[in-house]
Structure 1
């Protein structure tokens, strides 16, 4: 056991323990991502059947210019209901959105609520105009008068894409609520809603499919890091024992015998 106390082996074991500790932490982080994504998938599945709750129970009220603070990730895909009037004059076309291999637009229409703030409603997807992107796409108009919308909460997208006027509409590549809120004349809630197919104004548009999170990928990474952590410790123990066996074998074999000198040449 004296070899275990040498500086070389103390260093090797310290490095192995540190590496294993880091790998365990990485595995725990991946596990937390797995739990988060699994919870999101559960909410996605539940949102297809649960009774919608009022939008005010999920999203904070918007006050002043711009967008209200967004909700936490635990609110994503919550099924909500909201009543108001569509403002078609402030519709936003979100370009470069692909459905079934075709790049088109998602149509976001502000739903102005009773308090004067607006909830952005993604009414669905449309293909581009046959004459190209220089021509505005055609899509069903939002209904007039009071409407009640049912849909699922979608968090603001990362990346503040520019919001510009094109072909008589606002256009953007990213649904960034802060960027869009700066362009609209009323406060905007901090998340938008993917409208259910039965929602007024969604008819004639292709519904946006909700994809599940790949939680199994994070689970696989977590298990992989933990296997690596165990492997690092097992590996250093194996190397230590191998080194001990080699030293023991060398000790038992003893020193190499002295070479026997050759007899002198008798004819010399």
Structure 2
């Protein structure tokens, strides 16, 4: 009944179905992995306010030379609550433009914090609105505190897709806080990630931390697995349909052949 499955056409269809199902299962597993990663990040975000801060040096690799940032940390370091002590360097302050808070366009102000060992870490001190309400008018930002300060904040990985840098109103102007590109413009070794302050100074708005959309990845994983099952079921359904369609045809062919044989047999009745 199912011998047709051994024909080249059906063997090719089986191979394609299995290959497609394997790929779909792989994609589902990859989405599951992303779901687990993003869920872990969300857990760190939620726990950051209630967990004690750890020294920055225990999370990020120390940079060795000016112009070259320290090693970029993995995603497991993102949003870790850290503490670091040093002196702000307003001469190399950075403004990241085009940032919105509650529908208002403004800037994030990033100031290098010089540590006692000569290295530096970029500190995102918070958000301020642009002076004229557009994306390029220089903001009026409170000056960085003088003297030694201790900063508590969360590790933020470098933003991707580095943007051009320019000097504007006494600051380095950019669209993205891309640590490697910024580090190349600074005269001291810079850590490979920056720190987002937990409690901004007066005049700044805290930059909100968006949770990762982990459930979307979980939904995609289930979808890919369902597609794999559906592909196998579709192949089985088509094979069964083919088999059931062949059986009546074969029965009809056998009956027709029998009728032909009967018609060919001479009648036993003799003429009068």
Q: Normalized against structure 2, the TM-score is what?
A: 0.90
Equivalent residue, structure 1, for 2:73? 71
Equivalent residue, structure 1, for 2:92? 90
DSSP-derived class of the 1:28 partner:
helix
Cα distance in 1 for partners of 2:118, 2:202 equals 26
- Tell whether 2:252 aligns with 1:253: yes
* 1:1-268 alignment, distance < 5 Å: 1-66=2-67, 67-130=69-132, 135-197=137-199, 202-254=201-253, 255=256
* Residues 57-99 of structure 1: per-residue CA shift (max 9 Å, x gap): 0011111112111111110000000000011111100000111
- Unaligned stretches of 5+ residues in structure 1: 259-268
Cα distance in 2 for partners of 1:156, 1:131 equals 27
DSSP-derived class of the 2:143 partner:
coil
Q: Normalized against structure 1, the TM-score is what?
A: 0.92
Q: Displacement of 1:135 after TM fit?
A: 4.5
* Residues 135-161 of structure 1: per-residue CA shift (max 9 Å, x gap): 421111111011000000000011111
Cα distance in 2 for partners of 1:64, 1:162 equals 22
Contact 1:124 1:207 in 2 (8 A): yes
Cα distance in 2 for partners of 1:21, 1:238 equals 19
Larger Rg belongs to: 2
* Residues 17-68 of structure 1: per-residue CA shift (max 9 Å, x gap): 0000110111111111111101110111111110000000001111111211
Cα distance in 1 for partners of 2:210, 2:35 equals 16
Cα distance in 2 for partners of 1:170, 1:20 equals 51
Equivalent residue, structure 2, for 1:265? none
Contact 2:99 2:106 in 1 (8 A): yes
Tell me how many residue pairs correspond in the alignment: 255
* Residues 236-259 of structure 1: per-residue CA shift (max 9 Å, x gap): 00000000000001112234989x
Runs (4+) of structure 1 exceeding 2 A deviation are 130-136, 253-258
* Residues 177-233 of structure 1: per-residue CA shift (max 9 Å, x gap): 111001111111000011011x5xx22200000000000010011000000001000
DSSP-derived class of the 2:98 partner:
strand
**Deviation larger for 77-86 or 1-10:** 1-10
Please give the root-mean-square deviation of Cα atoms over the aligned residues, in Å: 1.5
